Amino acid sequence: MLITGQEVTLIVGVDVHKQTHAAALIDERGGLINALTIANSPKGYRQLIDWLVGRQAASAVIGVESPGSYGRCLVTALAGAGFEVLQVPAGALIASDTAAGPARPTRVTRARSRRSC
């Protein structure tokens, strides 16, 4: 990635599922740079981390949609690798008509579960 005179902010959005996770690397304007689908497994988490580093996205902010049971181990792996990980409430990217406004991402401070990853 060519950067001239200014730093580019990269964001990664991750949609979690039982068997796989879909990640999208986007620029500060919301343009898709690249996408990847990984297995929901330690090998898949390593693949995502390596993919991000290989695309000069090690400083990207990663938003994981509702990282409950299916995304818990992914969040743990990303945070352990030094990434900033945010929890994005399900549907947060959908326009909201509620008076409270759209949901806001919150920092994931720890994986919540009795099971280890």
| pLDDT single digits (tens) 21-74 | 999 999 888 899 999 999 999 999 999 999 999 999 999 999 998 767 889 999
Residue 53 in tokens: 């580093």
Residue 84 has pLDDT above 50, yes or no: yes
Distances in Å between the Cα of 63 and the Cα atoms of 2, 5, 67, 86, 93 are 24, 27, 9, 5, 11
User: What contacts 113, CB < 8 A, 6 or more positions away?
Assistant: 69, 72
What is the average pLDDT across 93-104? 43
pLDDT of residue 1: 46
Q: Give the rounded distance of the alpha carbon of 31 from its chain centre.
A: 16
Burial category of 107 from C-beta neighbours within 10 Å (exposed 0-12, middle 13-18, buried 19 and up): exposed
CATH numbers and ranges of domains, the chain: 11-91 (3.30.420.80)
Could you tell me the pLDDT band of residue 108, with boundaries at 50, 70 and 90? very low
